[in-house]
Structure 1
Amino acid sequence: MRLFIFLFIVILLEVYSFQLVRTLSRGHWWKWIYLAVSVLAIINVILQFTWLNPDRSQFSTVRDFSVTFMLALLALKSVFILFMLGEDIYRLIEGVINSLSRKREPDQTFFQGRRDFIAKVGLAVAALPFGAILYGAWRGKYDYQVREYELSFDDLPEAFDGYKITQLSDIHVGSFDDKEEVKYAVDLANKQQSDLILFTGDLVNNVATEMEGWEAIFGSLTAPDGVYSVLGNHDYGDYAQWESKEAKAANMQQLYKIQKDMGWRLLLDENEKITRGSDSINIVGVQNWGGGRFPKYGDLEKASAGLTNEEFKILLSHDPTHWDLQVKGDDRKYHLTLSGHTHGMQFGIEIPGFIKLSPAWFVYKKWAGVYKEANQFLNVNRGFGFLGYSGRAGIWPEITVITLKKNLS
């Protein structure tokens, strides 16, 4: 159903944009070149995900280029259409007002001149997202950013004042095409010299075999108190075709083993205590629990078994919608929840302290960065990897470093 809705929207855009191009071309032949490129781009993407390249779990140069080019075209057309639609609406209102006031309308030369000017401005502005998407696929997807936050708590145990945590999320290893760039990012994460590394799900796109050849790189992640992880919605193999239930279950066991062999402690609705002398904090890991159409495997009650309301807790929960729907209202009080999942849609505009915009805003209330409510914090990591669109533009891949501080005021 989602595919049909997407195709319907794309077709509407194509019909309207072609009418605009046909009008602006004034009978020139290049409008047919435009139409051919647009139609072939759409057909190619459909074929890349069906007949030509049905296995979506592994990287494919042709498929990723096809998706990137179509998204760049859609971005260009969408911005251009907004300009021209505004001109059409303005012209309609202007015509109605002139008709009601019996005022003589300007001749068509005036309208055509204004329309040509707006079209040129629209194309110039539309070239920005078009170029950004292409750049994001070329360089942006490996432009790793370290984001640092200092979070203060009244009831943080004293021994953990200054405790550093590195959070990674949404690796999506099957999408990568450059091991050196990924190794650089893993080394960058280790250079933060955090006390603990926490991974909040989506290690793979669909199947455990994507990790073949990557175990040594991600197994090199190290911290004094270890590496803890949870599962994301993609880790369960729900988006792949399986010969049997047994094959899917075997894939799940293989992913468990891979994480264990890398030295990661995978928390499956479990919690573990980290101690410093007589003080301690608790790492709580819940399986994926998502709002809307996403699966709800997690059991927060089970994950928190044995913990009191007063103990300091850090919750790993892949999907940030879990925080609003269950976590922040729980009496146990989860001081800090770490999530990912949204990727920030891998596209947007961010200027720290000034602006943070992304299409993710239309889908998620909390889609990137730190949020605070009821003396509890949520951090939504923008993701380490990428999926679908093989790039990042404006919303860069992220390594989060959080320092816990005791509030002394």
Structure 2
Amino acid sequence: MLRWIIFLIVYFVLGLYTLQALKTISRYPWVYYIFMAIALLVVGNFIYQFTLGETPGRVLSRPKSYAFGFLITMMVFEMVTILFLFSEDLFRLVSATYSNFFGASKEFTFPQRRRFLSTIALGIAAIPFGALLYGMYKGKYNFKVLKYTLEFDDLPDAFDGYRITQISDVHSGSFDNRDKIEYAVELINRQESDVLLFTGDMVNNMAVEMDPWADLFSTLDATDGKYSILGNHDYGDYVEWETEEAKEKNLEDLKKLQKDIGFDLLLNESRFLQKGKDRIALVGVENWGKGGFKNAGDLKKAAEKVSQDDFKILMSHDPTHWEEKVLSDDYHYHLTLSGHTHGMQFGIEIPGWVKWSPAKWRYKHWAGIYSEKGAYINVNRGFGFLGYPGRVGIWPEITVITLKKKSLV
């Protein structure tokens, strides 16, 4: 109860501050009333969804997700506005203190300055406000195909030019537009890659979330097959299950579902992709992550049938596994494919110029290709979305990686 009280106090203080900015630049009362009505509607819906809503508890349903998204959008608008106005108030406080201390007769009031700053503040605040709304409306389905070519000295000759499509973090429980998902599945198939690799988090929490989409994802196709691993959300750890048996059944249902739609699920296992006498070892571990995330991945067990000399591709959901365990392993894993971070679903990316997201404050490797010790990792930005029901700047990703034999010349 205390945290709700604190939250409401903070929210209404932010709202009152923003309301003052609106009153400074507009003399029309209906502007204030609309703002107050929206602010109350947003916070009321948020409180309802997270207390008395359809799915109480820890499960993040679509209504909860949108309630959270609109709350974040409103609070960002208010906080950006306040950053400008607080600086003005601080200036006025210092000015007033100076005037009183030195007995200056001049009164330090700047109504025109205040009006100007309020206009600038609200104008700048409207940019992230609009971007977050766009992210919920269209950005979350703004699928991008990102293509990379990676060269290796010891790539088997028969795999020169081999194409891999990677998708990750489907989070099917968040989908709300079948036409967009149909388009994305078609876009994946249009790449005509040799193999399709899915690196975890098919659902948010429960296997049943994938049921409406199973027929669609079963149409995914690749010449050498489709392979998958589990992500931290696939285990059902974020649900308050009535019994442990129910939780175990959910996981078994998800494993069966993946098989039914044509994925070969690797549970600390390996497979070989064969072309004539040449082969590539495909190794898949269960989720391994630091910072409180599930640690079920067993790299040694997964690679039991793999030799030191094999060219190895590792599927591991969480990129922290690469930096903590994989790079220092006795085996050299040429390419690791991960996801998990979503790129925080928010950021700015201009190829060759800017690559930024709050995700970088938590993850050393958070999106795209990285190389260390002669090995590569690709961190897929994710196919779906979770929490905030949108994406801004960090768009849903389909990765296509072409393996090339490095030229000796």
Offset at residue 191 of structure 1 (A): 0.6
Please tell me whether residue 21 in structure 1 is matched to residue 19 in structure 2. Answer: yes
Say if 1:408 and 1:400 are closer, same or farther in 2 by CA, change over 3 A: same
Q: Tell me, what secondary structure is at the counterpart of 1:214?
A: helix
Q: Does 1:78 align with 2:79?
A: yes
Which position in structure 2 is the counterpart of 1:395? 394
Over 3 Å counting, the alpha-carbon distance change for 1:17 and 1:256 in structure 2 is same
Residue 260 of structure 1 and its aligned partner are, at CA, apart by 0.8
Listed as ranges, the matches of 1:186-201 within 5 Å are 186-201=185-200
**Structure 2 CA distance, aligned partners of 1:283 and 1:179?**
32
Separation of aligned partners in 1, 2:374 and 2:54? 48
Question: Could you tell me how far 1:115 is from its partner in structure 2?
Answer: 2.6
Tell me how large the CA RMSD over aligned residues is: 2.8
Structure 1 stretches of 5 or more lacking a match? none
Whole-angstrom CA distance in 2 between matches of 1:365 and 1:305: 29
Q: In the alignment, does 2:123 pair up with 1:127?
A: no
Match in the other structure for 1:49? 50
Structure-1 separation of matches of 2:143 and 2:8: 32
Q: Which amino acid in the other structure matches residue 107 of structure 1?
A: E
The one-letter amino acid of 1:328's match is L
**AA matched with 2:108:** Q
1:106–1:160: structure 2 CA closer, same or farther, 3 Å change rule? farther
Aligned CA distance change for structure 1 residues 408 and 85 (closer, same or farther; 3 Å): farther
Alignment of 1:6-405 (within 5 A): 11-12=9-10, 14-16=12-14, 18-19=16-17, 21-22=19-20, 25=23, 34=35, 37-54=38-55, 60=62, 62-90=63-91, 107-110=107-110, 112-405=111-404
Which 10-residue stretch deviates more, 337-346 or 190-199? 337-346
Whichever residue aligns with residue 301 of structure 2, its letter is: K
Is the partner of 1:109 in helix, strand or coil?
A: coil
DSSP-derived class of the 1:213 partner: helix
Deviation at 1:338, TM superposition (A): 0.8
User: Normalising to structure 1: TM-score of the pair?
Assistant: 0.90
Contact 2:46 2:64 in 1 (8 A): yes
2:287 maps to a residue whose letter is N
When structure 1 is superposed on structure 2, of 396-405 and 359-368 the one drifting more is: 359-368
Number of residue pairs aligned between Structure 1 and Structure 2 = 404
- Are residues 23 and 393 of structure 1, via their aligned partners in 2, closer, same or farther at CA, if it must alter by over 3 Å? closer
| Distance in structure 2 (CA, Å) of the matches to 1:50 and 1:179 | 29
Decide which moves more: 168-177 or 37-46. 37-46
Deviations 1:212-243 (A, max 9, x none): 23111111111111000000111001111212
Structure 1: distance between partners of 2:231 and 2:347: 23
Q: Per the alignment, in what secondary structure is the counterpart of residue 167 of structure 1? A: strand
Check the 8 A contact 1:79/1:126 in 2, yes or no: yes
Distance across 1 between alignment mates of 2:106 and 2:370: 54
Larger CA deviation: 132-141 vs 31-40: 31-40
Shift of 1:46: 3.0
Instruction: Kindly state the Cα deviation for residue 363 of structure 1 after the two structures are TM-superposed.
Output: 2.2
Contact 1:381 1:398 in 2 (8 A): yes
| Contact 1:47–1:53 (CA under 8 A) maintained in structure 2 | no
Of all paired residues, the percent bearing the same amino acid is 50
Indicate conservation of the 8 Å contact 2:201/2:232, yes or no. Answer: yes
Aligned-pair CA distance for 1:308: 2.8
Residue 33 of structure 1, CA deviation: 6.3
**Segment drifting more, 241-250 vs 162-171:** 241-250
Partner secondary structure for residue 224 of structure 1: coil
- 1:24 to 1:252, Cα distance in 2 relative to 1, 3 A: closer
